[in-house]
Amino acid sequence: MIEAVGEPVAVEPVRERLVWVDAARGYCVAAVVLFHVLLWRTSWGALTDDPVAWGFWGSVNQALGSVRMPVLLAISGLVLSRQIREGLHRSTTGFRAVSNYYLYVVWLAVYALVSFFVASPSLHHRVDGLGFFEQLLVPDTTLWYIYALALYIPLLALARHVPPWLVVSLLTVLAVVVHLHDADALALKTPGLFVFFAVGVYGSDRLRALAGAATWWRLAAAAVVAAGIAALGALTTSAVQDAVLFVPRGVAFAVVCVVAVAIAVRWRPVRRLGLALGRKTLGVYVQHPLWLALVTGIAAAFGRELVATVLASRAGALLFPMVVTAIVVGLSIGTQVVAERAGLRFLFELPARWRHAFGRT
């Protein structure tokens, strides 16, 4: 499950380590929301594009593309590393796999329900008719990440006796093949990004060590390496070379992110915001497409002129994606808090009876 970070341990270094873990996860999910705000911005209606502003956000989005899911998956792998490497017989491992698939089915049903009642074009990644049953096995919405965790956990647990280098090598080849075929297809995200989860599982000790020894010099060195790989990819015109660089680029940027967040959380405002986001990542991740559809639909219907006026100015176009992202994240977190207090915790975790079956209280 996205939310879980392991049982609390009364040791200060462990708590400090979990701060950057939560923060990295939280900021990555915020980047996912920002990505969809930019991707679906045409839902706002006829907009006046400022070339400088949208050029800036296009560059930011492209840069974050090497960070968002690779880092989120690597952090998820790191959190679950100990349980996975102990095997599928461990109750916690089975609990995590079942819990994630349960959440996937629940929110797939929510998406299907919303799609049934909402015909607005601002609602993306619809789940209509028999598509619900198809997506029980082949995801085709942003929920693919929840589905992927449910699949990755038991597969790596079953492969615990296979040498890690072999597992990562095979998954790297798989990522290259997928990237060559259609890297943007949601149905292919699960196999195509599996390698980053495995890097988190098998490289958990190294990632923790990187965070614990984070310095500005190490950040600069990691950034130079990542920028070099990105530049090499930008220079190549070969689809094969670009696919081969996909995994090294993702791992390099994951290292940059880990070191950067470990340094950034030393500043209290960054730490507090990261923790606030990181401990509600599930709610934000599963809800944000729905809230984004509602916000954009309302604005397109009743505030089209106001939105167009804001976006006509460079300052407005620069600030607009950040403001919308903050609104959607805030609505998602607020809705989760209200839902849990209203007795709807089953939307965000396994029911108590099922948790008890795994020895979870």
Query: Can you spell out the DSSP letters for 241-284?
Result: HHHHHHHHHHHHHHHHHHHHHHHHTTSHHHHHHHHHHHTTHHHH
Question: What pLDDT is recorded for position 44?
Answer: 57
Please check whether residue 151 lies inside any domain of the structure: yes
**CA separation (Å) from 357 to 28, 138, 151, 153, 286?**
32, 28, 20, 19, 25
Please check whether residue 323 lies inside any domain of the structure: yes
Q: How many CB atoms lie within 10 A of CB 54?
A: 19
pLDDT tens for each residue of 144-187: 999 999 999 999 999 999 999 999 999 999 999 998 887 667 88
Please check whether residue 2 lies inside any domain of the structure: no
Please check whether residue 4 lies inside any domain of the structure: no
Q: What is the CA radius of gyration of the chain?
A: 20
Across all residues in the chain, what is the average pLDDT?
86
Which residue is it, tokens 């948790």? 355
Give the N- to C-terminal CA distance of the chain in Å, as an integer: 15
**CA separation (Å) from 265 to 17, 38, 112, 275?**
10, 27, 38, 9
- Of 38-47, 76-85, 117-126, least confident by mean pLDDT is 38-47
pTM above threshold 0.85: yes
CA distance 149 to 142: 13
Please check whether residue 1 lies inside any domain of the structure: no
Number of compact structural domains in the chain: 1
pLDDT tens for each residue of 73-103: 999 999 999 989 888 777 688 889 999 999 9
H helices present in 65-163, as ranges: 68-79, 81-86, 91-117, 131-135, 144-158
CA distance 271 to 275: 6
SS3 35: helix
Please check whether residue 135 lies inside any domain of the structure: yes
CA distance 72 to 250: 11
Please check whether residue 5 lies inside any domain of the structure: no
pLDDT tens for each residue of 276-327: 898 889 999 999 999 998 888 887 777 777 877 777 788 888 888 899 999 9
Q: Which residues contact 128 (CB under 8 A, 6 or more apart)?
A: 112, 115, 116
Identify the domain containing residue 257 by its residue range: 12-357
